[in-house]
Amino acid sequence: MVNVVNPQDGRTTRSRDASPAAGETSENGRANLPAARRDSTFLDACRRRPVAHTPVWFMRQAGRSLPEYREARGTVPMLEACAIPDLIVEITMQPVRRYAVDAAIFFSDIVVPLKAIGVDLDIKPGVGPVIADPIRDAAGVDRLRLLDPSDVPYVTEAVGALTGELGDLPLIGFAGGPFTLASYLIEGGPSKNHERTKAMMYGEPELWARLLDRLADIAIAYLKVQVEAGARAIQLFDSWVGGIAPADYRTSVLPHSSKIFSALEAYDVPRIHFGVGTGELLGLMGEAGADVVGVDWRVPLDDAVHRVEAGKALQGNLDPALLLAPWEITADRARQVLDQGRTAEGHVFNLGHGVLPNTDPGMLARLADLVHEESTGR
């Protein structure tokens, strides 16, 4: 990969070059080091090391708002697309070609490992994951078997191919957090209040713990597949866990998230943890074992710093809806996020949640450039 400056607008994009093969020496004289030893501002910021500029990537940068995504997907159903290595590679690469992002996120979905172990589910367009036979009792929990790497050969293949395509740019692997996956499985689909989920958490704590423990084991196996195939960071998306109180998080979720982060510790890849509306949980999410705590747009980063224990980097947190406002407003708010991020031991710029489907990709391109320009040398 090389950075190419467009003479018309001065923006930097990446282009695929003939990257040197393993063992050869690259243009800048550096030996073509094994992935784990190459430079990356993203990995450095996650590890709270000094960086030349603030790294940036966008949650849900792949898919959603890109016309070339819709073209590549065509009529292929989402879950089928997630099992076709060439398509996964293409869609993962699309935002990397457009934006000067410092990391790629693997194109998949949090329910892919559940589908792979035989859960009857679908991703319905405009809705999200829908489960045919929701889990409401011990028999349902027992039907969730563990994930074996041979269940997801397309993930291993796509991650492997991507690490070649991406060169120095790190690939982020991901999994769904235990509360969020439990919610889809118990409710049977997307839910506003997570009523049955919380009823099980409060009313049947042993069953709940068994379910979350099983989901943690599945997440561990799924994340290991991605890291062993070449992913250089992982993110645990517990998107909907912000719906519970800190005391319940501590007793009913944290032990399971902790299990996931501990199981990944030996791989020495940065572990990022994110959820929406988790202002009251940020400290606990760090305590669970994340190296980087993702912050949504509701809590300023200079406030989040005080909610999270020392020794953690922060990721976030521009409101994705700001990308629908005039550029100067977006730019001002992005500068604010950068300023607030400077109070953290490490800062990875991101949105406060995923890219909204109506976002103009041109705005994301400008935002990635602004983050680099405004943070260089500061």
Residue 72: CB minimum distance to ligand 1CP, A: 11
Look at residues 46, 60, 43, 56 and name the one whose alpha carbon lies nearest to residue 353: 60
Angle subtended by helix axes 85-98 and 361-375, to nearest 10: 60
Q: Which of these is catalytic: 44, 109, 238, 296? A: 109
Q: Which is nearer to ligand 1CP, 174 or 222 (CB)?
A: 174
**Closest chain position to ligand 1CP (CB):** 128
| Other beta carbons less than 10 A from residue 139's beta carbon | 8
Q: Let me know if 73 is a catalytic residue.
A: yes
Cβ atoms within 10 Å, residue 80: 12
Q: What is the dihedral of CA 219, 221, 287, 317, to 10 degrees?
A: -50
In the complex with ligand 1CP, the residue whose CB is nearer, 163 or 180, is: 180
CB of 142 to ligand 1CP, least distance (A): 24
Helices (H), the chain: 41-46, 67-73, 78-81, 85-98, 112-116, 138-142, 153-166, 178-187, 195-203, 205-229, 246-252, 254-264, 282-287, 301-307, 327-341, 361-375
Shortest CB 129 distance to ligand 1CP, Å:
5
Choose between 105 and 338: whose C-beta lies nearer to ligand 1CP.
105
Q: Out of 73, 250, 298, 342, pick the active-site residue.
A: 73
CB of 34 to ligand 1CP, least distance (A): 26
Smallest separation (angstroms) from ligand 1CP to the CB of 125 = 4
Catalytic residue flag (residue 109):
yes
Nearer to ligand 1CP, 48 or 355 (CB): 355
Marked catalytic residue, from 47, 60, 136, 333? 60
Which residue reads 């998107």 in tokens? 239
- Write down the catalytic residue from 11, 47, 64, 333: 64
Please tell me which residue in 184, 214, 249, 369 is annotated as part of the active site.
184
d(C-alpha 173, C-alpha 111), whole Å: 14
Closest contact distance (angstroms) between CB of 152 and ligand 1CP is 15
9, 365 Cβ separation under 8 angstroms: no
Residue number with CB closer to ligand 1CP (48 or 62): 62
Residues that bind ligand 1CP (CB under 6 A): 60-64, 78, 105, 107-110, 123, 125, 128-129, 174, 180, 190, 237, 239, 354
Return the number of the residue (48 or 100) whose C-beta is nearest ligand 1CP.
100
Taking the C-alpha atoms of residue 203 and residue 205, their distance in angstroms, rounded to an integer, is 6
Q: How far apart are CA 132 and CA 292, in angstroms?
A: 35
Cα–Cα separations (whole angstroms), residue 282 to 83, 96, 144, 177: 33, 29, 30, 15
What are the catalytic residues?
60, 64, 73, 109, 184
